[in-house]
Structure 1
Amino acid sequence: MLDTTPLTVAVERFADRLRAAPQSRLQRGAAAEGFALARELAVRAQRIEAPGEEPRIMPDAGVFAVADQLGVAGRDLAEALRRAESAPPELLGEAVALVEGAARRARL
């Protein structure tokens, strides 16, 4: 089993920054960056939980919901990685790197 704490910490840190960001910052790209990340994390979780099935795509719920969508997707992926007995350890590192990169690009 993987220790997914680095992923949940990184996701919650970014989600908190999105929640605290002014609307203007969200609309200038921070929300789009967070939403793209949320979609990617959700797809990765689904591929672990249901390999071979077509992942469902997370709907866009708007700039004020993106932090919550990111939090849910990040926790889902962390849980999928934790439960997956054969998940390669590098999947966790890749996910953390995705979160950190998105947070840098969002400039929050």
Structure 2
Amino acid sequence: MKTCLVVDDSKVIRKVARHILETLDFVVDEAEDGREALGRCDIQMPDVVLLDWNMPVMGGMEFLRTLRQQDIASQPKVVFCTTENDMAHIRAALEAGADEYVMKPFDRETLASKLQIVGAA
């Protein structure tokens, strides 16, 4: 089974994402900020990271840049999941190494589509 790390400071978003991902046959882990997410990645690198932009402690962009600088054999697919919807944010995320971008609120169909696009579904 594929694994997904949901990184979001909202417990509600993590719960919704977990439910959707589990129906798509993912094993799901959660982190509430980028620093916690890096720790989870050190323990076990997920296949996919569903990543929020705005979080306390360490935001999504800082997490993504740190993750992409690591010398690891298999980088996870990273899907930004955020309310930031202007082209500048989307471009910055993709340039920093995100594989795809999904807007909140999202549903099962939208998330499944994005995971398929990055080759994770």
Task: Give the alignment's TM-score, normalised by structure 1.
Answer: 0.31
Q: Answer 1 or 2: which has greater strand percent.
A: 2
Which structure would you say has the larger RCO, counting Cα contacts within 8 Å and 6 or more residues apart? 1
Structure of greater Rg: 1
Using structure 2 for the length normalisation, give the TM-score.
0.29
Structure with bigger helix share is 1
